[in-house]
């Protein structure tokens, strides 16, 4: 290593054309939110280019003119936005709510002193954390009934509720890891100080440890919400009438022209980008604000 360093220094000091030794550098992995936030603000306009240029190509390739392509999309935009995209947001919010509540309980169970409870929570966390989301959705679709009879009353379970439950399971597992990691990241001196003040474990956890963890958990929690929102189109495979399903129905109503594929799906892409991009920017800002100063 010393001889290599000396040769590198000599190469830097010479005027001759030499090839410097190549050094591998380790790059830390980035989260989905960090990658999304690193994109420039004009990325959304680039994503919208197919929406603007595709009708021109279709005009040259077939009988579907530019006016027809834009008129078809513009006619369906209010319906796709109100009944489609907003429903995707609703599904993501409910799934995040249920996943957060269940994940917080599961994460606290992973640090329990009861070995049986701790192992059971760990198993559930690893099971849903390392399972494909689409497989979970299909299992939930087939396992849950479409209605439940309680004391003679029939309670229907629509497909979108099954989708919410299916998406909340992997979110629950990842929130569980966030809670467990945040609690374990608190220095042990905090636990020892609380014990010296005669605090029991419950008091220490709720009054001292968890208040310090909330700020640390907000950025990864927002990161997983952005990931969840971008995963809601998977619900279209279950027959849920969200933006992708309604886009297919709208294109079928327009005689299913192949030229409509790029404009309609580009519109959905732009909507998701402009919804998730601000979340990514806020997440990065919170990570910098609440970063642990060493």
Q: What is the 3-state secondary structure (H, E, C) of 115-180?
A: HHHHHHHHHHHHHHHCCCHHHHHHHHHHHCCCEEEECCEEEECCHHHHHHHHHHHHHHHHHHHHHH
Least confident of 25-39, 202-216, 273-287: 25-39
Higher pLDDT, 8 or 157: 157
183's tokens:
């609690």
Output Rg (C-alpha) for the chain, integer angstroms.
26
Q: Tokens 């849903």 identify what position?
A: 128
Percent of the chain with pLDDT over 90: 38
Q: How many CB atoms lie within 10 A of CB 86?
A: 14
Q: Hey, what are 187's tokens?
A: 């220095």
* Helices (H), ranges, the chain: 2-13, 32-38, 43-61, 66-79, 86-110, 115-129, 133-143, 159-185, 188-196, 201-204, 210-231, 243-253, 261-289
Express as a percent the part of the chain with pLDDT over 70: 77
- Hey, what are 143's tokens? 């396992």
Looking at the predicted structure, is the pLDDT value of residue 230 above 90? yes
Mean pLDDT over the full length of the chain: 82
CATH assignment, 29-289: 1.10.3720.10
Helix axes 66-79, 43-61, angle to 10 degrees: 130
Distance CA 5, CA 12 (A): 11
Residue 30 has pLDDT above 80, yes or no: no
Confidence at residue 76, expressed as pLDDT on a 0 to 100 scale: 92
Q: State residue 115's pLDDT score.
A: 93
Distance between CA atoms of residues 180 and 213, nearest Å: 10
Phi, psi of 220 (to 5 degrees): -65, -30
As a whole number, mean pLDDT of residues 196-220 equals: 87
244-257 mean pLDDT = 89
Residue 87 has pLDDT above 70, yes or no: yes
For position 81, what pLDDT does the model report?
A: 93
Q: Stretch 154-160: mean pLDDT, rounded?
A: 85
Mean pLDDT, residues 82-104 taken together: 94
* Residue 22's pLDDT band (cuts 50, 70, 90): very low
| Residues contacting 210, CB < 8 A, separation 6+ | 183
Confidence tier at 188 by pLDDT (50, 70, 90) = confident
- Is the alpha carbon torsion for 214, 216, 219, 224 positive or negative? negative
pLDDT tens digit sequence for 113-145 = 899 999 999 999 999 999 999 999 999 988 888
- The 8-class DSSP code of residue 82 comes to I
Length reported for the chain: 294
């Amino acid at each position: 290593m010393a001889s290599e360093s000396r040769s590198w220094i000599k190469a830097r000091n010479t005027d001759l054309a030499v090839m410097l030794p190549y050094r591998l550098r380790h790059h830390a992995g980035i989260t989905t939110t960090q990658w999304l936030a690193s994109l420039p603000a004009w990325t959304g306009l680039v994503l919208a280019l197919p929406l603007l240029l595709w009708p021109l190509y279709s005009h040259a390739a077939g009988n579907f003119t530019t006016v027809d392509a834009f008129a078809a999309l513009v006619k369906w935009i209010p319906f796709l936005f109100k009944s489609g995209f907003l429903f995707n947001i609703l599904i993501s919010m409910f799934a995040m709510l249920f996943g957060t509540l269940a994940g917080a309980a599961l994460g606290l169970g992973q640090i329990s002193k009861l070995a049986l409870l701790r192992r059971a929570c760990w198993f559930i966390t690893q099971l849903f954390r390392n399972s494909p989301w689409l497989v979970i959705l299909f299992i939930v679709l087939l396992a849950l009934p479409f209605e439940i009879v309680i004391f003679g009353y029939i309670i229907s379970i629509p497909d979108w509720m099954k989708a919410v439950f299916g998406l909340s399971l992997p979110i629950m597992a990842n929130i569980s890891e966030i809670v467990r990691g945040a609690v374990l990241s608190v220095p042990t001196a905090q636990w020892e100080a609380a014990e010296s003040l005669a605090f029991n474990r419950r008091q220490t956890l709720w009054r001292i440890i968890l208040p310090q963890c909330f700020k640390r958990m907000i950025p990864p929690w927002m990161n997983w919400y952005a990931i969840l929102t971008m995963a809601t189109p998977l619900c279209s495979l279950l027959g849920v009438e969200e933006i992708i399903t309604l886009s297919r129905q709208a294109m079928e109503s327009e005689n299913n022209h192949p030229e409509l594929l790029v404009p309609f799906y580009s519109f959905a892409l732009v909507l998701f980008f402009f919804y998730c991009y601000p979340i990514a920017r806020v997440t990065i800002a919170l990570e910098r604000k609440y970063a642990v100063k060493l």
